[in-house]
Amino acid sequence: MAETQAASGALISIPALLARNARDMGDKAAYREKEFGIWQSWTWTETSEEIRALALGLLALGVAKGDYVAIIGRNRPALYWSMVAAQMCGAVPVPLYQDAVAEEMAYVLEHCGARFVIASDQEQVDKVIEIQEKVHCVEHIIYLDPRGLRKYDHTKLHALADVQAEGRAAHERMDKELDDRISAIGYDDTCVMLYTSGTTGRPKGVVLSNRNIIESAKASAEFDDLGPGEEVLAYLPMAWVGDFIFSIGQGFWTGFCVNCPEGESTMATDLREIGPTYYFAPPRVFETILTTVMIRMEDAGRFKKWLFDTFMAHARKVGPDLLDGKPVSAGDKFKYWLGNLFVYGPLKNTMGFSRVRVGYTAGEAIGPEIFDFYRSLGINLKQLYGQTEASVFITLQPDGEVRSDTVGVPGPGVEIRIDDSGEVFYRSPGVFVEYYKNPESTASTKDAEGWVATGDAGFIEEGTGHLRIIDRAKDVGKMADGRLFAPKYVENKLKFFPNILESVVFGNDRDYCTAFINIDLTAVGNWAERNNIAYASYQELAGHPKVLAAVQEHVEEVNRSVAEDEMLSGCQVHRFLVLHKELDADDGELTRTRKVRRRIIEEKFDDLIKALYDGSTSIYTETEVTYEDGRKGKITATLEIRDASVVDPGAKVAAE
Amino acid sequence: MTETSEGYTTADGRQIGGVLMEMKNITLRFGGVTAIKDISFDIREGEIRAIIGPNGAGKSSMLNVISGFYHPQEGEVWFHGSKRPAMKPYQVAQQGIARTFQNIALFEGMSVLNNVMTGRLTHMTTNMAQQAMWWGKAEREEVENREIVEKIIDFLEIQHIRKTPVSRLPYGLKKRVELARALAAEPKLLLLDEPMAGMNVEEKEDMSRFILDVNDEFGTTIALIEHDMGVVMDLSDRVVVMDYGKKIGDGTPDEVRNNQDVIDAYLGVAHD
């Protein structure tokens, strides 16, 4: 396709959108960042000037068309600008996860052959320098925060501000070249390359074109009526497709303002100060906020606690209906109004959700109680289902049709079909171009007609047309006696208990199911404190008999609930253990987006799984752990294995 | 290392300048007790200088002499090439010497931000009445100073506790706040009295990094007292060793480590 900037003058690239925004809403805030205790802001005109200076500087450094520019760091305006500046030069930005260890980073840098790396600070620069022996493609490293880098050898190292200054100085020489490069960008040229964390194997580079990003941004912005007045808080990893769509795609399309927090530890304060109108978070974040609120309410005075409990009960009763515009009696409305005055309003303000108009959660199933809690407060929290390969959006929940057990209807322009095996396929303008340097994977995921396999098993609910996801297709299996095995279904039920952070259920080709449980240190730690249970470490707390007893109760409750589903009643957990360490992405047990990597856990904890099935009541184990700086250590523990009572569905029927 | 009057180059390639402060034959007595006996040493511009020694060796007394809190009976203190007359601690502070304390001395009820702001007091010229009105010069002055303080807060990574009262902070963070307050004075010479006392390994690593960064970023000369030998040997360019009020060693960490007197003092040999 020969659609280019010059030919059509259309909005077919991010730099083109930038030019439009600078022209049409030049004085409107585009980016804000809290630094030195103050929110600093940049208008679209200023943003455009900063990005152009950086692009000119990159040209002067020798960025060529088709180069890959890696970007590593936390959400900061200058790093978002770097991505657009790279695009202006005809290069492809590749954002990386900032918490990746050097080894993971080496693979990605090598795979895309990045000539340039733009890193946020010394920590990231150190990682890139460390892997120089293995990765030879990196020619220049540009850093944002000069702290601690003064003494480094600067032959290949540049401060971002210096690069911009050089760009400004060289503008007369470079302007024409840059304009030529910008106007040469086509709609089907690569906009960004994102590495998927992948629950199995090596990460894959997903190539997304300008068409993918802009069409997806356009459609989703229309779906939720997003305009230039929205405020978002950019705090999710920049390497994740969602952040790219929200902070760049939709941000540039609608012209809304992207706010970057001061740092990870100030998130809660910054969220409250900004009060976003459009907010996205994975279920885990909502869970954590709810746990914090609940813990603090436990510590509140008796009157406050009563006030909270009374009005929350009322909110649960009528809140969701009010949000969906269903009829509610005048008395209930008045009580809700009172509740809003005393409880919901202040609570939403504390959480930073006062102004949220559209909130989304995705990535994992969210517990119905958690979901309902936020909705009953009047926060329009919805679910969506998406993938990197789809430029995020596959299905979304329209306003008024929100439920915790579905993921919504196909987004605008998205087609969905379920194949015979139950796997979900989709086709949309957002469908990725290819996996970089990996035609086999591309071919096995995307067929000639553009249908993409999600790898998830699900079905379309009759009547509503909503999609429901059961599990990862490849994780769904059969037990030894032929009954259906869907681990995710049980794991989610377990995870809905605040005490349980993570769980992994086993049972494929086995006689019965077993589980690993990870306790939630915040919730269980608080409970321990309340009950005068002393503990010195995570490991000690996780192995405490009282904790085990509490977890056992949760497991048995889940078993009762699972037994009610005839198809999945075989998935009840017969035996379980509480792990002595938290599953961690640094140890490869989770992906960077915190999804369980089943195969790796199965291999690594092989001894524990054996013990779960050989009837032993305790097991001694040694586990290798990786510290944040990449060093490795070992922890040892003796774990107790417990039996949980199960419900026999056959017996239940007979009794009735 | 070759030392000249202009300075020297450290093992890691840093340029150390000329003498910033020189202690000449200092003797300090409290009644009949001689805390410091005829000690001389110098601190050079840009270096990290450690004072070590067993308990009761007179290290803190030495630091108090430098900060003007104690006045030695004998000897001279030279700062910036001129002899320093007997001074009050606040006058010393105005000369560009700031310190932290072994036992944290912060304003417990005040927020971190306000505590650090107090470090700017020596740089403020408006009086109480002007500040109460907070108009014109007083306002401008506060904004300027706040900016400097915010840069230090950013530098020491304590943004998240900016508004937290100091009394609610754990020990390790209080130590960092104290360092922030000392830095806010933009000192030429920073005195740290046991900056790592009572810290765990991780906190010590953090604090060491901050000390090195401060030295690197602002070029601040640092004199520190520390018990943790590993930390001292890693951080400092030159070390003074004291024992029973006397100087028993002076030199690079390696030289000091191999000094027989120092080994004796630490491993314990009968004193005469």
| Contact across the interface for A35 and B154, Cβ inside 8 Å | yes
**Interchain CB contact of A36 with B (< 8 Å):** yes
**Which pLDDT does position A446 carry in this prediction?**
92
Q: Are B92 and B195 in a shared domain? A: yes
pLDDT at residue A652 tops 60: no
Phi, psi (degrees; rounded to nearest 5) at A128:
-65, -40
Q: What is the mean pLDDT of chain A?
A: 90
Q: Are B211 and B245 in a shared domain? A: yes
Q: Measured on CA atoms in the order A138, A139, A144, A146, is the torsion positive or negative? A: positive
pLDDT at residue A274 tops 50: yes
**Interchain CB contact of A150 with B (< 8 Å):** yes
| Contact across the interface for B216 and A148, Cβ inside 8 Å | yes
**Which three-class secondary structure state does DSSP give residue A194?**
strand
Percent of chain A with pLDDT over 90: 62
Distances (CA, A) of A144 to A122, A240, A265, A598, B219: 9, 21, 20, 37, 21
Distances (CA, A) of A590 to A170, A199, A596, A610: 46, 8, 5, 21
Q: Residue B150: inside a domain, yes or no?
A: yes
**Interchain CB contact of A638 with B (< 8 Å):** no
| Contact across the interface for B217 and A148, Cβ inside 8 Å | yes
Q: Residues B44-70: pLDDT tens digits?
A: 999 999 999 888 888 999 999 998 899
- Among B185, B205, B237, the domain boundary falls at B185
Q: Residue B114: inside a domain, yes or no?
A: yes
- Among B161, B185, B209, the domain boundary falls at B185
* Domains of chain A, first to last: 5-209 (3.40.50.12780), 477-655 (3.30.300.30)
Total CB pairs under 8 A between chain A and B: 36
Mean pLDDT of A251-275: 93
Helices (H), A145-282: 160-169, 171-183, 210-223, 241-243, 251-254, 267-274
Are residues A71 and A79 in contact, defined by beta-carbon separation less than 8 angstroms? yes
Q: Which residues form the domain of B125?
A: 107-185
Phi, psi (degrees; rounded to nearest 5) at B223:
-115, 125
Task: Name every residue whose Cβ is closer than 8 Å to that of residue A507 and which is 6 or more positions away in sequence.
Answer: A477, A479, A485, A487, A513, A514, A570, A571
**Which pLDDT does position A651 carry in this prediction?**
52
Q: Where residue A4 falls among pLDDT bands split at 50, 70, 90?
A: very low
**Which pLDDT does position A655 carry in this prediction?**
40
From B191, B205, B246, select the one nearest B63 (Cα to Cα).
B191
**Which pLDDT does position B269 carry in this prediction?**
67
pLDDT at residue A418 tops 70: yes
**Closest partner residue to A262 among B146, B159, B209, by Cβ?**
B159
Any idea which of A381-395, A585-599, B150-164 has the lowest mean pLDDT?
A: A585-599
Q: Residue B32: inside a domain, yes or no?
A: yes
Q: What is the mean pLDDT of chain B?
A: 88
Q: Residue B102: inside a domain, yes or no?
A: no
Q: Are B127 and B154 in a shared domain? A: yes
**Which pLDDT does position A522 carry in this prediction?**
87
pLDDT at residue A624 tops 70: yes
**Interchain CB contact of A302 with B (< 8 Å):** no
Q: Residue B155: inside a domain, yes or no?
A: yes
Task: Name every residue whose Cβ is closer than 8 Å to that of residue A329 and which is 6 or more positions away in sequence.
Answer: none
- CA-based nearest distance B151→chain A, Å: 6
Q: What is the domain-level CATH number for residue B74? A: 3.40.50.300
Q: Are B85 and B192 in a shared domain? A: yes
| Contact across the interface for A36 and B151, Cβ inside 8 Å | yes
**Closest partner residue to A150 among B151, B209, B216, by Cβ?**
B216
Q: Measured on CA atoms in the order A19, A22, A24, A28, is the torsion positive or negative? A: positive
Q: Residue B15: inside a domain, yes or no?
A: yes
Q: Are B173 and B205 in a shared domain? A: no
Q: Residues A188-205: pLDDT tens digits?
A: 999 999 998 765 668 899
Are residues A571 and A505 in contact, defined by beta-carbon separation less than 8 angstroms? yes
pLDDT at residue B221 tops 60: yes
**Which pLDDT does position A461 carry in this prediction?**
86
Q: Are B27 and B59 in a shared domain? A: yes
Any idea which of A116-130, A536-550, B227-241 has the lowest mean pLDDT?
A: B227-241
Q: Residues B230-257: pLDDT tens digits?
A: 888 889 999 999 988 899 999 999 898 8
**Which pLDDT does position B62 carry in this prediction?**
93
- CA-based nearest distance B148→chain A, Å: 9
- Among B167, B185, B203, the domain boundary falls at B185
pLDDT at residue A333 tops 90: yes
| Contact across the interface for B157 and A35, Cβ inside 8 Å | no
Q: Residue B270: inside a domain, yes or no?
A: yes
Instruction: Give CA–CA dist A232/B95, Å, rounded.
Output: 48
Are residues A54 and A284 in contact, defined by beta-carbon separation less than 8 angstroms? no
Q: Are B114 and B154 in a shared domain? A: yes
**Which pLDDT does position A43 carry in this prediction?**
97
Q: Residue B251: inside a domain, yes or no?
A: yes
